[in-house]
A and B are shown apart, each in its own frame.
Chain A
């Protein structure tokens, strides 16, 4: 079974530029998550989708970050404009369904973003 796919794996941009990341979850997984992992820290949830609806985006900096999951499968996360502090690894994860905390989230390889 194919795992969570993400692209690109690496991205280097100048501050104030825009960037987009793509994620394809495990087939059949209804729930998709985007996490931000700053160097030396654990991942922090940015946004969670169930099918194509947003479940939790309380920690998403909405002035510059946006995400969508059209058709309830693939998802894109965009940053516009990027700041130096956005340098991090962006991880996408998916799970079968939100089931009261029992779901196991499976992670993709991540996109390492460097903002210069």
Chain B
């Protein structure tokens, strides 16, 4: 069965600090996709990034960067120079193709609080 673990329940940082959110996953599939979503207090899940299991190239997008390591089944997310607006719950998710659909298994989320 698919499983996503986000061991960090809550992280508090001061603005401008860098912060890394950890994600570890379990799957028997050889082809899979990993996602990060952000859920601000308004409640809507906002898509941040998608990675497939064949692409271990790390990516940087502005202040965000992602580190995918298949050998350790990890897909970590780093925010550089954090800002108050980054305060949200961040979810890591694993996509499973169920033979007729595309099911996301989410972790329990990491609450990030960025303070002045």
Are A42 and B106 in contact (CB-based, < 8 A)?
yes
Are A48 and B44 in contact (CB-based, < 8 A)?
no
Are A91 and B45 in contact (CB-based, < 8 A)?
yes
B33 CB to closest chain A CB (Å) equals 5
Q: Which residue of B lies closest to A9 (CB)?
A: B43
Q: Which of A31, A99, A105 has the most CB of B within 10 A?
A: A105
Question: How many A residues touch B, CB cutoff 8 Å?
Answer: 30
B87 CB to closest chain A CB (Å) equals 17
The distance in angstroms between the C-alpha atoms of A41 and B17, with both chains bound, is 26
B26 CB to closest chain A CB (Å) equals 15
Please tell me which stretch of B60-68, B71-79, B89-97 contacts chain A, meaning at least 4 of its Cβ atoms lie within 8 angstroms of it: B89-97
Q: Which residue of A lies closest to B49 (CB)?
A: A104
Given contacts A31-B102, A100-B97, A105-B104, 12 further A-B contacts (CB under 8 A): A42-B4, A43-B91, A56-B100, A101-B96, A102-B33, A102-B95, A104-B35, A105-B47, A107-B44, A107-B45, A109-B42, A109-B44
